[in-house]
Amino acid sequence: MRIEYDIKLGFKDVMIRPKRSTLKSRSQVTLEREFKFLHSPLVWKGIPIMAANMDTVGTFDMAAALAEKKLFTTVHKHYGVEEWNTFTSNIPKAYYNYIAVSTGISRSDSEKLKGILQHMPSLQFICIDVANGYSEYFADFVKRTRENYPNKVIIAGNVVTGEMVEELLLSGADIVKVGIGPGSVCTTRVKTGVGYPQLSAIIECSDAAHGLGGQIISDGGCSSPGDIAKAFGAGADFVMLGGMLAGHNESGGEIIERNGKSFRKFYGMSSSTAMTKHIGGVADYRASEGKTVEVPYKGEVEPTIQDILGGLRSTCTYVGAARLKELTKRTTFIRVNEQENQIYSE
């Protein structure tokens, strides 16, 4: 046994220090970024915020709404080839740059991925997603996927430490997804004791990835636009959101009416709700590692996106970053013991 004594930080442990700036207005800030990838020849332009591949977040409806604004969706893995066919035949080709097909690492997952990409070869992004990205089998799966799809952009995760980011990038991933345990409907830290505070995970993993020419996604734990700004400030190239995009028209999830109020069901992909829905129950050798909650119905996702992007532009003006790309360089975090004043709630 060994203990690391330096304290790892989460979003709640820091704030971003304001800096003198020449920017006059938030409207001068551009949030679009352009990325070249480590393996894929694709060049991507857009706003690097992503909807999570959960079936109560990363739906086709969400993908269409976010692509319209040049934001990205990792579409959940439970749609069949036919459903993909119908979806892609109804959207402009330009949207394809903002959509990833998600897959697990079982044989049936990779067969389905093959079917989808055979029918729709213009789809450019593959998201290989497992809860625990530390297994040798996972890295081998990434390697095989890279051999089969040399030109696609491959996202792989989740991990939280630099050495594993490097291993996945060297195995063929272009972008590594970072986060174990911070998610709003995640119970991994409670069930297993395993995890890593997200801000430190981003700082350490982005350093490792950027050293090799790769990118990272900060996945999970953002509960406000300020957290998204902190994730970018810490070095994330992309930020993935679950709970913040749940509960909208586009999100999916059963609608529940109670006492004249509407809610939408939102659950973790390792919750017993998800496992019952997709694989007929929780296998007898494992525990549920996700919550099932009801979130207040929030209407269309568009105003939420505007709120997030407005907050982010404002962060950039506070530190003098004319482009989102400059935010990390201009960020100084201060350690704090307080966040917002909670005397009133909206």
Q: Which sign, positive or negative, has the C-alpha torsion 99, 130, 290, 183?
A: negative
User: Position of tokens 């991990």?
Assistant: 159
Per CB under 6 A, 197 contacts ligand 5GP: no
Catalytic-labelled residue, pool 186, 205, 222, 316: 186
Closer CB to ligand 5GP, residue 40 or residue 271? 271
Closer CB to ligand 5GP, residue 67 or residue 275? 275
User: CA–CA separation, 132 vs 62, rounded Å?
Assistant: 26
Per CB under 6 A, 54 contacts ligand 5GP: yes
Tell the smallest beta-carbon distance from residue 147 to ligand 5GP (Å). Answer: 26
Please give the C-alpha separations between residue 279 and each of 78, 109, 151, 272, 273, in angstroms, as whole numbers: 10, 13, 32, 10, 10
Per CB under 6 A, 268 contacts ligand 5GP: yes
User: CA–CA separation, 111 vs 6, rounded Å?
Assistant: 44
Per the CB < 8 A criterion, the answer to whether 143 and 173 are in contact is no
Burial state string for 120-151 with b = 16 or more CB within 10 A and e = fewer than 16: beebbbbbbbbbebeeeebbebbeebbeebee
Of 41-49, 132-140, 146-154, 237-245, the window that binds ligand 5GP (rule: CB under 6 A) is: 237-245
Task: Indicate which single residue of 15, 91, 131, 282 sits in contact with ligand 5GP (rule: CB under 6 A).
Answer: 131
Per CB under 6 A, 247 contacts ligand 5GP: no
Tell the smallest beta-carbon distance from residue 68 to ligand 5GP (Å). Answer: 21
Per CB under 6 A, 183 contacts ligand 5GP: yes
Tell the smallest beta-carbon distance from residue 203 to ligand 5GP (Å). Answer: 18
User: CA–CA separation, 222 vs 315, rounded Å?
Assistant: 15
DSSP 284: T
Per CB under 6 A, 102 contacts ligand 5GP: no
HSE, CB side, 13 Å, CA atoms: give it for residue 209. 34
Task: Please indicate whether residue 186 is annotated as part of the active site.
Answer: yes
Q: Enumerate binding residues for ligand 5GP (CB under 6 A).
A: 52, 54, 131, 158, 179, 183-186, 188, 219-222, 240-243, 268-271, 289-290
- Just list the catalytic residues: 186
